């Protein structure tokens, strides 16, 4: 448990696939969602200010953090090329809280919404990644 009593602490390590070297990125506040292919930064989702979840980009070299989005965020997946991420969130227009919205965010600057994908009852990650990567 993080010092704020709300978020989890995550120990994040990555492996350089060419050398096999394991790199320890330390303990981070939040739930890891992805690591850039070059190992220089990662994405986290965590509870932030005003009881909203945040999508955060963390630079491993200097621990600099950038909040990319906030709201009722659930999960994120980095897309090929590490320039975008698909983020799953509750659909704000759904009053029974069963529909989801899928947005593609750029991962270099805050609030860079590049697309909103249509939702359906049985959408899965593989379908979304294929559609977004086209």
pLDDT of residue 80: 85
**Distance between CA 34 and CA 112 in Å, rounded?**
18
- For residue range 73-119, list pLDDT tens digits in order: 889 999 988 999 989 887 666 666 566 788 899 999 999 999 887 66
Dihedral Cα 84, 123, 126, 59, nearest 10 deg: 30
Give the residue ranges of DSSP H helices in 1-134.
125-132
Q: Which domains does the chain have, with CATH numbers?
A: 9-132 (2.120.10.30)
Whole-number Å distance between alpha carbons of 62 and 46: 19
Q: Report the candidate in 26, 22, 1 with the shortest Cα–Cα distance to residue 12.
A: 26
Name the pTM for this structure.
0.80
Task: Identify the band that residue 125 occupies on the pLDDT scale cut at 50, 70 and 90.
Answer: low
User: What integer pLDDT is reported at residue 1 of this predicted model?
Assistant: 80
At 35, list the tokens: 């690591």
More confident: 1 or 122: 1
């Amino acid at each position: 448990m993080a010092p704020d009593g709300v978020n989890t602490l995550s120990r994040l390590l990555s492996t350089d696939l060419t050398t096999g070297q394991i790199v320890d990125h330390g303990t981070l506040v939040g739930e890891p969602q992805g690591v850039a292919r070059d190992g220089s930064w990662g994405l986290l989702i965590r509870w932030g200010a005003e009881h909203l979840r945040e999508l955060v980009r963390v630079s491993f070299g200097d621990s600099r953090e950038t909040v990319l989005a906030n709201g009722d965020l659930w999960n994120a997946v980095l897309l090929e090329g590490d320039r975008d991420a698909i983020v799953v969130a509750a659909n704000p227009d759904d009053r029974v809280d069963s529909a989801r919205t899928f947005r593609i965010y750029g991962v270099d600057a805050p609030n860079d919404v590049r697309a909103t994908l249509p939702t359906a009852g049985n959408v899965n990650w593989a379908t979304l990644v294929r559609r977004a990567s086209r």
